[in-house]
Each structure stands twice: as structure tokens, then as C-alpha cells.
Amino acid sequence: MAGIVCRTASRIISSQVSCSSSVVAVRHSHWFTSMLSLKTSSPLRAEPKKKKKVDPRREIMMKERLKKKLKRLEKVAPELIPIEDFITPAKCLDETRIRDAPKHSFEESERRALLLKEWSRYKYSQHQTEMDTINEALEAQRQALDELKLESEELYKAAVSPDTDIFPFQHEGPSYTPPVTNYEAPEGKYNDITRVYTQ
């Protein structure tokens, strides 16, 4: 019965709509609201979760506050890495470790003083000979370059141009004993206990 009424009502409405532009919401039952209005049925209307405009703003504010806190933390200067050589270890300040100061005889202290003076004289003469040798070698090189310049400009330019292949230059310096031929060093384990600091 209700269905027939509805169908007739809808036909009337549709005929009415086709003539007039304005929509008249005619409700015949609460289940069937007008076709053209929003479909806001009660199940939909009963939902508790609704995103209001205030919430996104709150979230944005939270993020900004966190970012500001992070920036403040980062602005603090990083802690300096301690130089271990400059810190006197507590062991050295221990009183029990002090050696008894030895008492030298007069001759001993005299001998030491004289030896130190002799050493300074020796080192001075050594330095002089070194400087002389170096200057002599430099002078020889300079004269050789002058000679070369007289010979040909091209060769001179080639000689004066910098040598890029020489660096990095490596050479093993003299040791106390010469290297043993065909020596196989034994494998060894070691624990590396160096302290590594990160900033």
C-alpha cells in the first residue's frame, strides 16, 4: 500500500520537477528522503568521529613546537673532544711514585755541565757543515741551470718545469739492523683500546 503511494507520489514529484526548477522536498516516509537532497541517513548521522577544523591546527602546532625544540638542541655547540695528551693522568700525581732525588758529587755535576757545553759546540759545528753542504749543492745546481740556459731554452724550460710524479715520495730510512732476507713476520693478535670520540 505504502509502496503504491510512494510510486504515485514520486511520479507526481517528477512531473512537477520537470515543469518547475525548484525542488520541493516531500517526505512520505522517514526512510525515503527526497531524491535530490543529501543522502544523510541516520546511520551516517550517528557516526561519532568527525574531523573538525580545530584538530588539524592542533597537530600542526604540535609539530612546530617539536621542531623548535630540536633546533634549540642543535644550536648548542658540540662538546669538544678531549686531547688525552694534555690531561695529566691521576697516576702521575701519586705521591708514592716519587723517586728519591739522587745526590751527585761535585765531579759528577761538573762532568755533566762540561759535557752539555761540549755537546752544544759539537752540534753547532755539525749544523754549520750541514748548511755549508746544502748551500754548496744549491750553488752547483744554480750554475748547472745557467749553463743549460746558455745551451738551449727548451731544455732549460723542461728542466725548470715542476715534476709531478715525484710526490708522494717514500723511502725507508736506516734502521739499527739491516732487513733479514726472506723474513716472515709471525702473525700476532692485538686488542686496539684507543678511545674513539664522536661529536
Partner 1 sequence: MAAPFSRLCRPLWRITTTSTLNKGVRNVSSSRQQWSAQNVKTAGAASPWALNGAVCLQRLPVVSEDGSPIEEEFMELMHLMEFERSLLSDHELRLLEDAARMSRKQEGDYDSDEEDYRDNEIVTAQDLEDIWEQKPKQFQPAPRSQGVDEKDMSSSERCLADSLILLVKKDVGSQKLWLLPQIQWQTGETLRQTAERALASLPGADKKATFLGNAPCGYYKYKYPKVIQKEGSVGAKVFFFKAVLSSHKHLPLEKNSFAWVKKEELQDFLKPEYLKQVRRFIMAL
For cell 526548477, the residue is 21
Contact between 23 and partner 1 (CB under 8 A)? no
Would you say 84 and 193 are in contact if contact means Cβ atoms under 8 Å apart?
no
Q: Residue 135 and residue 40: Cα distance in Å, rounded? A: 103
Interface with partner 1 includes 35 (CB under 8 A)?
A: no
> Per rule CB under 8 A, is residue 98 in the interface with partner 1?
yes
33 vs 44: CA distance, rounded Å: 14
Among the listed residues 92, 107, 182, 195, the single contact to partner 1 using CB under 8 A? 92
- In the complex, the smallest distance separating the C-beta of residue 78 from partner 1, rounded to whole angstroms, is 35
One residue of 109, 112, 117, 124 binding partner 1 per CB under 8 A? 112
Q: CB under 8 A: which stretch of 2-10, 29-37, 42-50, 168-176 binds partner 1?
A: 168-176
Q: Is 179 in the site for partner 1 (CB under 8 A)?
A: yes
User: Judged by CB under 8 A, how many residues of this single chain contact partner 1?
Assistant: 51
CA distance readout (Å), 77 to 11, 72, 73, 80, 158: 80, 11, 9, 9, 52
**19 CB-near residues (< 8 Å, 6+ apart):** none
At closest approach, how far in Å is the CB of 124 from partner 1?
Answer: 13
Among 54, 101, 193, 196, binds partner 1 (CB under 8 A): 101
Q: Which of residues 135-154 bind partner 1 (CB under 8 A)?
A: 135-145, 147-148, 150-152
Taking the least distance from each CB to partner 1, the nearer of 67 and 142 is 142
The stretch near partner 1 (CB under 8 A) out of 6-14, 28-36, 57-65, 114-122 is 114-122
Q: Please tell me the distance from the alpha carbon of residue 26 to that of residue 14, in angstroms, as a whole number.
A: 11
> Under a CB-based contact definition with an 8 Å cutoff, are residues 46 and 24 in contact?
no
The CA-based dihedral angle spanning residues 122, 126, 129, 132, taken in that order and rounded to the nearest 10 degrees: -120
Task: Kindly list the distances between the CA atom of residue 107 and the CA atoms of 104, 111, 121, 131, in Å, as whole numbers in the listed order.
Answer: 8, 6, 21, 36
Binding-site ranges for partner 1 (CB under 8 A): 92, 94, 96-99, 101-102, 112, 115-116, 118-119, 122, 130, 133-145, 147-148, 150-152, 155, 158-163, 166, 169, 171, 174-181
